[in-house]
Amino acid sequence: MLIHRVTSQECYGLRESILRPGQPKENWTFDADDDPRTIHLAMKDGEEIVSIVSLLPEEKEGCPWRLRGMAVKDELREQGVGQQLLVALLAMVDKPIWCTARNNVQDFYLKNGFTIFGDEFTMNDMQHVFMRWEAVNSPTG
């Protein structure tokens, strides 16, 4: 499996099927998807996209980048695919990143150098936390 830079449209299939199944397109597309500064990465198994992540220019509390749309096909979870993709993305930036993480995946981000900030909140009927990453927090940085 190899990591490739892809377009936002190439991320749509997994965003919809994994992150927002059955929801309208506006729930799994982002305003900055086509911004030239945005980075979309995918892990491909042959020609099949099996994992995705996007990094968008969206500032929050001193973090100029927002990580969004991280998804891994169900059958490949817990095999390091998402971590490989995240590490590749983090290696491409030297500025702080923020994201919202569902409570059930916050440990994944904590293990990869992210820290929690702010209060827990509900979004799309699920509990989330705000998280941030800076190179000094990273196990690889």
Local confidence band at 137 (pLDDT 50, 70, 90 cut-offs): low
Q: Give the pLDDT band (50/70/90) at residue 65.
A: very high
Residue 35: domain span:
2-137
CATH of the domain at 63: 3.40.630.30
Number of separate domains in the chain: 1
pLDDT at 140: 47
Kindly report the pTM of this predicted structure.
0.89
> How far from 65 is each of 12, 16, 21, 97, CA to CA, in Å?
20, 22, 26, 5
Query: Considering only 33-37, 80-84, 124-128, which range has the smallest mean pLDDT?
Result: 124-128
